[in-house]
Structure 1
Amino acid sequence: MDMASAAIPDRTTRTHHPEWQYLDLMRDIWENGSERIDRTGIGTRSIAGAMLRFDLSDGAMPLLTTKRVYWKTATREMLWFLTGETNIRPLVLQGVKIWNEWPHANYVKETGDDISLEDFVARIAKDEAFAEQWGDLGPVYGKQWVDWPTYTPREDGLFERGQGVNQVAEVIESLRKSPGSRRHIIEGWNVAELERMALPPCHKTYQFHVSGEGEDARLNCLLYQRSCDVALGLPFNLWSAALLNRMIAQQVGMKPGELVWMGGDVHLYLNHEHLITEQLTREPEGAPRLEIVRHPPSIFEYTIEDFEVHDYQPQGAIKAPVAV
């Protein structure tokens, strides 16, 4: 890492580009993080706790420029979350690959069929019955966001499923009625259902905060992420959280304020060294902006065509394997 570190300009010569926060965090973890064996067996360098802040005013977005971030893929995933869907097939049919490895690994483990990932995904797309059986991820993100389960007691002492809680809709309603509340929260960490999830939620808790009043009201979003893959996951997480804040701000008639991202176990995988070394030689430039070109009737009616990104000229993509 000495070569990569040496290639980064001294702080006194840098611009004030917000992306330096991300690069500084990456370098700190790689140079000072504790090396550990993790759940995947690959190994990480990790630190405990980090914070990044991004101003979202005037269309600004935390879209990294030191490598290409596929913002349409991240946007399609966010729209999928908002449907409450938990099967990968709708994503597969849109060419979104980010969740494929988990059901594939489960299928191979359960059946012993050593099918390739490519062939598994093709079968998910082609065979709806196969997808229904093997493409589900369990009650992950969107399920908890829009249909958090409730249970009501019966006369025999057992419980039956009640009406699910749509946390997203409730937050939007509370922002309209009581903007000063400290309870504008969307929570994904449902302890009772963690074991049924392909992956427990990493970006787990979103809290919204309103600053100012009337026409000057600004919506801020605070995201707590319990586990963060900084090289591959965080660029998507920053975009997605800012996007969610922008959509909700539009729905409640507020201006976008600030995204505050907080990480718990913040790490880099040991097999991502080539990505880290390369990205730390690059300097951020440009100011990508998001335009939402339509105002849908509700948060659940946005489509990918509603979003346009301007002034985004990233440096080249850097590929690295996903740890499953």
Structure 2
Amino acid sequence: MWNITSVPEIHFIQLSEDPYLQPVLFDLSLSIYILALFGNLLIILTVSSVSHLHTPMYFFLSNLSIVDIGFISTTVPRVTVDIQTHCPVISYVGCLTQMSMYVIFACMDNMLLAVMSYDRFVAIFHLLYYQVIMNPSRCCVLLLVCFLLSLVELVFHYVAVLSFSTMRYVEISNFCGPSEVLNLANFDTVTNNIVRFCMGTLFGLLPISGIIFSYFKIVSSIMRSSSSSGKHKTFFNCGAHFSIVCLFYGAAIGVHFTSSLSQSPVSYAVASVMYSVVTPVLNPFICTLRNKDIKTALGKILSRSF
């Protein structure tokens, strides 16, 4: 047992101890980070520079890209530096800072997906009043609410983390996620599970319920529609967002099952990195490939550049 004030640094579990794999892991992590930055910046640039994309749907999409850049920047650069320097350690204050950024961006991602599903619900069921309901002021308010809820979740994590004065060990997976930091605490299993359940219910169940409700109503509308063109249009409007939702929660469920079924800390470290990497990297490609407006706008930008 360590006194929390006497812990100078926390050690990370490396993805691999094999020295021959280190250059490969370094090149892979750096390439992934550059790819995520390029893809998300391209989405932001496209939405901001093409006037007919200045709609609520693309407003939230561009903000999702900004959040994804912050999300992947919280973990991957640190992992890349640790691989290169062979020094996988972080100070206690640095660990809390990384956890803070991770919680804010992960929660923002979660909340924005729920807001985007609400936007699609309004666009389909209240089309005539869509511009009135989703006016710029309301869009900004919804974005602000997402950010404030993320700060509230961060406060919950800080209260849970700072309430303990001793640590069981000073080794965690390869970044300071909230679950890993909570595992450091000298909590009994029941207390730890209660803390996780309360935060998961408040900040996980709320957005998931909104997404499920919105898509339940959307799918019901599609099933009742007799027009094939109407069904196609609905799928077109919701396809990209639904793919991103499946990707985000699929990765989260994968991490959960990996931590539950596997006792290997390396397996959990790999799964955690994949969770923070998969969504920011693949979201821009999903949006580009499944959205004709984005593809058309990108084509115009590229033709203008050349």
Q: TM (normalized to structure 2)?
A: 0.27
Q: TM (normalized to structure 1)?
A: 0.26
| More strand as a share of residues | 1
| More helix as a share of residues | 2
